[in-house]
Amino acid sequence: MIPQEIIRRKRDGQELTGADIAAFIEGLTREAVSEGQVAAFAMATFFRGMSRDEVIALTLAMRDSGDVLTWTDAGKPVADKHSTGGVGDNVSLMLAPIVAACGLAVPMISGRGLGHTGGTLDKFQSIPGYDVMPGEDVLRRVVKEVGCAIIGQTGDLAPADKRLYAIRDVTATVESIPLITASILSKKLAAGLETLVLDVKCGNGAFMARQEDAEALARSLVEVANGAGVRTAALLTDMNEPLADAAGNAVEVANAVSFLRGEKAGTRLDAVTFALAAEMLVQAGVFATHDAAEAAARKVLANGTAADVFARMVHALGGPADFMEKPEAYLVRAPVILPVPARASGFLSACETRDVGLAVLELGGGRKRPQDAIDHRVGFTDLLPLGARVEKAQPFAFVHAPDEAAARKAISALQAAYTLSNDTPGDRPVILTRM
């Protein structure tokens, strides 16, 4: 394998063979291919794109660069969900225990925050003792005994993705749909899934702001995952406002506990969570129809089974045994909690959702550099949904901050992120389409 010949062929718009791609990724994993060559390959792919067969070959080569889990002893369908990221998107925290309570095995490999979007692992690290990076033996035990485990990517799963992503991140090639597709799916396929459901976010709080771009990414993900042998579907969901009424880390965990106690019915978060649950259960063959699947998912929430699964997962991964009973005893509160008053009377008609995420980051709830520590206490709670009527000076959210100066700055940022109108805004669907 001559790396520069593979780069040249992709640069000139030629289709690479599966053998070409496998050899290049094998060289990348062994560091026999230089960082400059990887960067050139990424840039050539960014401009020239890849065919469906090329992306499948790239995904499989990256999957096979490390360990690939098998679940022959699971005794139930092995399924997972992936979100492309947003603000206030804590769906995974409730979804995994809900579908596990309905009969799925869910080894959920999750990530940390990226840019303005929150990370599932960062949220779980708000829980004292919770181990987000256990060994494979612990992962298997927890999935077998509890039904689900939400953990991070170990160094042995798709290591080629880690190196390629780091180089993409500093060469302005992150947005390449073929490379995004292979990055997401290589990790998911390495987890040994049988079925996968994708939540592709669209709107001003998503990486794909335009619906046509989100649809293109969803189409690529679905086609490649199915081509690689994993039954996959995708939902496009709206991210033009925070999904939950909280944005941060510990505050979103507390929000998830409230959801699992049945306190978030009728919200946009409720709609997305149960749409994804129904999709996962139908994809896995547990139910024949989405209506039946959603009814079963709502039943395990209502009778407390899902909450029990969440509690047992937290404890099995090192967290407190009584976390569900008294989360407030374990989730550290910010020292300063202040209301965010409306600047005028009117309807909340629009939100610059990305700015909400950036405000959380500025509070310390995200990373500006990879080595930064996260303040799990900070964020926003009690965010009113778009369409809500507020009077001047009425709180439409609360900020949780490390000090009063940071709180005042965050209040101004959140006030600037929301638009007030005299007219009632029209309803916006939260589920845009299915692919």
187 is catalytic: yes
237 is catalytic: no
Which residue among 183, 195, 237, 273 is the active-site one?
Answer: 183
Pairing relationship of beta strands 431-434 and 231-238 according to DSSP bridges: antiparallel
How far is CA 401 from its chain centroid?
24
How far is it, in rounded angstroms, from Cα 20 to Cα 319?
46
The answer to whether 148 and 97 have CB atoms below 8 angstroms apart is: yes
How far is it, in rounded angstroms, from Cα 120 to Cα 219?
24
The answer to whether 163 and 61 have CB atoms below 8 angstroms apart is: no
Cα torsion through 253, 259, 264, 265, rounded to 10:
150
First to last CA, the chain: 37
Residue with tokens 């709206």: 238
How far is it, in rounded angstroms, from Cα 117 to Cα 388?
24
Which residue among 76, 81, 201, 264 is the active-site one?
Answer: 81
Which residue among 63, 188, 312, 315 is the active-site one?
Answer: 188
299 is catalytic: no
Tokens describing residue 116: 């303005």
168 is catalytic: yes
Using alpha carbons, select from 183, 203, 190 the residue that is nearest to residue 117: 203
Which residue among 10, 63, 76, 187 is the active-site one?
Answer: 187
The answer to whether 99 and 277 have CB atoms below 8 angstroms apart is: yes
- Transcribe 308-338 into DSSP letters: HHHHHHHHHTTS-TTTTT-GGGTSPPPSEEE
Which backbone phi and psi does 422 adopt, to 5 degrees? Answer: -80, -20
How far is it, in rounded angstroms, from Cα 4 to Cα 9?
9
Which residue among 82, 268, 354, 377 is the active-site one?
Answer: 82
89 is catalytic: no
34 is catalytic: no
76 is catalytic: no
Which residue among 45, 92, 117, 120 is the active-site one?
Answer: 120
Which residue among 20, 64, 80, 238 is the active-site one?
Answer: 80
How far is residue 5 from each of residues 10, 14, 35, measured CA to CA in Å? 9, 11, 16
Which residue among 29, 59, 65, 83 is the active-site one?
Answer: 83
How far is it, in rounded angstroms, from Cα 221 to Cα 226?
8
Tokens describing residue 367: 């990373």
80 is catalytic: yes
Single-letter code of the amino acid located at 226: N
Which residue among 63, 76, 112, 168 is the active-site one?
Answer: 168
Residue 169 region by backbone torsions, left for phi larger than 0, else alpha for psi between -120 and 50, else beta: alpha
How far is it, in rounded angstroms, from Cα 272 to Cα 280?
12
- Other Cβ atoms within 10 Å of 268 Cβ, number: 22
186 is catalytic: no
Residues assigned a catalytic role: 80-83, 120, 168, 183, 187-188
